[in-house]
Amino acid sequence: MKKTLFVFFLMILLTTACSTVEEPAPKPTEVVEPTKVVSPPTNTPAPTDTEYKPTHPAITADSLQPGQTPYAFLSSSDVEIRYLFYLPENYDPSIRWPLILFLHGGDGNGMNINRIMNKTLPNYIENLPDFPFIVVSPQLPNGFWPKLIDPIDELLDHLIEVLPIDADHIYLTGLSGGGYGTWKYALKYPDRFAAIAPIAGGPSVTTDRVPEDICTLKELPIWAFHGEEDLIPPEQNIEPIEALEACSGNVRLTLYPDTGHDAWTPTYTNPDFYDWLLQHSK
């Protein structure tokens, strides 16, 4: 009897213990990424700058061919200048050639070099036989010309160094935004050019159209052109020309009647314009 009671009492204790003691809940599974062990490199060269890849080849005396050819130039400040280079059909490397630097208007901005061929100097000279100039037509990617003046000036020095170019017969012309750039370039480097011809664009886009230093150009022959009906006010060229006349500058101004924003067509298709350029040297 005692043995039976003991067994019964033991079973009650075990049952009670099993019902009151709980197993700890399992923790959520954690995913641990294996540690990546990276060995130190052995004989690995130091990283270098990305190699410059020109959009067009660099010009050389051996690469020249008649007509328009795209080239690229990298300045000392790592600015790439893309440009069209026009070589006359009658080019003779034994003589030094006059050069025209042409600055296009806003329609030529971008990365496609062919954009500057539309109704601009590079296009018109294709139809002028025996054109007596080398012509360099850089392309502005965006914005305005003043930011490229120094790189373009380096390009001119480079071309004078590697090609038979007459440094005393370098001329500057530009239309619209390029007319503005023509004035700005000449104001910064008044001794660079033998003559300049700004078209449909003045030296300032503000209401004060005459720069304070305008008389620094009084020794430079300037022939400005504008359409009388141009949405860009003709006063942008009239007022600086009048200011230069007041300080005895060597200036001319042609206003085309009944002409809007296209004073360059009657200018660049007129042989007298190129004769006027050649009359001047530094």
Beta partners for residue 71, in sequence order: 83
Judged by average pLDDT, the poorest of 52-56, 97-101, 202-206, 258-262 is: 52-56
Asked whether residue 75 carries a pLDDT value surpassing 90, the answer given is yes
The rounded Cα 248 to chain-centroid distance in angstroms is 35
Asked whether residue 260 carries a pLDDT value surpassing 50, the answer given is yes
Which sign, positive or negative, has the C-alpha torsion 204, 202, 135, 218? negative
Q: What is the pLDDT of residue 128?
A: 76
Alpha-carbon span 197 to 102, nearest angstrom: 10
Of the ranges 20-24, 39-43, 108-112, which is most confident?
108-112
Q: Assign domain 61-278 to its CATH architecture.
A: 3-Layer(aba) Sandwich (3.40)
- Can you tell me the mean pLDDT for 174-178? 97
- Can you tell me the mean pLDDT for 90-102? 97
Alpha-carbon span 225 to 190, nearest angstrom: 19
Asked whether residue 216 carries a pLDDT value surpassing 50, the answer given is yes
Between 172 and 24, residue with greater pLDDT: 172
Judged by average pLDDT, the poorest of 88-97, 144-153, 197-206, 272-281 is: 197-206
Buried b (16+ CB within 10 A) or exposed e, 9-19: eeeeeeeeeee
> pLDDT digits over 17-31, tens only?
334 334 444 444 443
Q: What is the pLDDT of residue 268?
A: 96
Domain residue limits, the chain: 61-278
Asked whether residue 35 carries a pLDDT value surpassing 90, the answer given is no
> pLDDT digits over 111-146, tens only?
999 899 877 899 998 877 789 999 999 999 999 999
Q: What is the pLDDT of residue 207?
A: 65
Q: What is the pLDDT of residue 119?
A: 76
Q: What is the pLDDT of residue 153?
A: 98
Of the ranges 30-44, 48-62, 105-119, 222-236, which is most confident?
222-236
pLDDT grade for 53, boundaries at 50, 70 and 90: low
Q: Where are the extended beta strands (E) located within 190-259?
A: 195-199, 222-227, 251-256
In the chain, pLDDT over 70 holds for what percent of residues? 80
